Chain A
Amino acid sequence: MASQELNVKASGENGSDGISEETLKIIQKQGTLGYQIRKSKTSYFMLAPYFFLFFLFTVLPVVISVFFSFTDFNMLELPTFVGWRNYIKLFLEDDIFMISLKNTLIFAVVTGPISYMLCLLFAWIINEFKGVLRAVLTLVFYAPSICGNAYLVWNLILTGDRYGYLNGILLKLDLINEPKLWMQTEKYVMPVLIVVQLWLSLGTGFLSFIAGLQTVDKSLYEAAALDGVKNRWQELWYVTLPAMKPQLMFGAVMQITQSFAVADISINLAGNPSVNYSGATVVTHLLDYGSTRFEMGYASAIATVLFLLMVGSNKLVQKLLRRVGE
């Protein structure tokens, strides 16, 4: 590629016979990769600071991690290469991984879409309000994401004796006869975690939708009203959503990274390991191997599998989102 480009460049400078030949050469010259790169010099300068750090602190660590996934590495001795053994063990011998994979998929399929819709719904409703009320409402709904004590609240609510708020209310209403050990009973763990996860869902996506709604060109609404859009629901589907497609895409990716990586709520409410691994997710499993057992090779293999899972679902979701507003 490089030598061809040089040739073209050299002949381009000398050749001055015949316009058509000249033009042809210029076109040829512009077609080469080198020319395009030189032409976009400013673009690359703008990219440089971010991508230099990005390659150094993100891409390189990911590459190293993927390499670790093919090794046996305990963080004290040098890694030893073991080929596909970690992956084989993961899928054929590790029963708990299968439980955690199942739970993670439940989280992704149930909380993923619902959280996403909630973010959009509440951002859109808040956008209907004005002034101080609006700023206050935004804070109220973002409070669980910014306060950092969400688990404390839920631990109070879910306490297993009769002083837990949930038990207290249910006992008072005579719906149960004795207090229930919510987080120590296998069948309650996943449903409760799903509810808490939904309660926590108004985070990154929510705020970016609020900002996105601000940038929708307002003249579009007037035009739509003239075109026969009759109520706010039609307006939402035909005007607002198509206009904020970039934010919808962003929200979807953030949602995927969050719903597949559920771990903190499980560890804080159900513990790690949870009763009979009923609250285990792929990331709690990963943390178990990575930070408790120091089996970094195996943990890296889990991370790689999780990564592929997210990439796959991202492809699917992006395909669905292209159809918004049609």
Chain B
Amino acid sequence: MAAEYKKKKRFFHRKQKQLNRSVAGNTLLFALMIVCGVFMILPLVMIVNNALKPLDELYQFPPKIFVRNPTLENFSDLFVLMNDSWVPFSRYIINTIIITGGGVVGHVICASLAAYPLAKHKFPFKDILFSMVVLSMMFSWTVTQIPQYLIISVLHLNNNYAALVLPAWSFGMGLYLMKQFMEQLPDSLMESAKLDGASEWQIFWKIVMPNVKPAWLTLAIFQFQQMWGNTGSLFLRDEQLKPLQFALQQITAGGVARAGAAAAVTFIIAAVPITFFLICQSNVLETMTTSGMKD
């Protein structure tokens, strides 16, 4: 049975050699990528340079993009401010891990679990449920925020991590993304596992999920960005519950004197999701490489 699973898992294998590719075409595309890439990477370049600029360069007018005398002063300023904070800074970090981690893991599991039957099973009300999810993404979030706040208050979830984490588990995009990828899996993959006596739950964990790894890694990136950017100020009142994002934005709100620390904050706020992005993205590629090598 296990061998059968393995064989099926490798349904998608790596491209062995480059078919239909001309050198001229490759060069042209590479040139295009460089030209466009320069424009796209501007914000990243600016964040890194600003974080390394000493105060006088940050206030230079007209502003320059590149730093001339790089320094780590901004970061040491930031750490001093962090140590001064009323709530120990580690508390904010733990809060962020709970909120962001809980939001990402819970959403990926809930959405994938619901996406599997929607993609591969037949049952009553399936189409209605699915189109409700797709349509829900088209209703302006600004407006539904108020009823959502009322519901969370009625449930007494205010001032609780759950007020941020639980709604995040049911975002529409994740289910839609996962369903679209699962739909592509050939039915024979599941049927043969069923013949081997696997339950639906086993099929989901051992066959479906490994085969859509690129999808849930991508979803994790989206969800991470969403959760990481949340200051939680709408629902969380206690300082002890607030996430890192809130604490960092408080520091930048400190005005002119804190411009250096603020530049360091901008760097950290961007660096964390970028690190997460790179880890996930390189795994999207890795899945395919390793499964190809086992052939």
Contact = CB atoms under 8 A, between A and B. Distances in A.
Contacts of B148: 57, 61
A61 B172 CA distance: 14
B123 to A, nearest CB: 3
B123 A51 contact: no
Nearest to B121: A43
Contact of B183 (A42, A138, A204, A246): A246
B151 to A, nearest CB: 6
Contact of A46 (B11, B37, B117, B266): B117
Contact of A49 (B114, B212, B288): B114
Contact of A128 (B29, B46, B212): B29
A225 interface: yes
B176 A287 contact: no
Interface stretch (B74-82, B87-95, B278-286): B278-286
A211 B214 contact: yes
Given A211-B217, A218-B12, A221-B19, A47 B40 contact: no
B137 A253 contact: yes
Nearest to A249: B180
Nearest to B292: A218
A230 B20 contact: yes
Contacts, number: 276
A321 interface: no
A236 B142 CA distance: 39
Given A49-B113, A261-B140, A42 B173 contact: no
A50 B269 contact: no
Contact of A54 (B16, B170, B274, B277): B170
A204 B172 CA distance: 13
Interface residues of B, number: 98
B134 A50 contact: no
Contacts of B273: 146
A218 B14 contact: yes
A217 B11 contact: yes
Interface in A128-153: 128, 131, 134-135, 137-150, 152-153
A6 B110 CA distance: 34
15 contacts: A46-B116, A50-B111, A54-B132, A58-B172, A59-B136, A64-B147, A64-B150, A146-B277, A149-B270, A163-B62, A211-B215, A215-B181, A215-B214, A250-B177, A303-B142
Interface of B: 11-16, 19-22, 25-26, 29, 32-33, 36-37, 39-44, 46-47, 61-63, 110-111, 113-114, 116-118, 121-124, 129, 132-140, 142-148, 150-151, 166-167, 169-170, 172-173, 175-177, 180-181, 183-184, 199-201, 204, 211-212, 214-215, 217-218, 221-222, 225, 229, 266, 269-270, 273-274, 277-278, 281-282, 284-285, 287-288
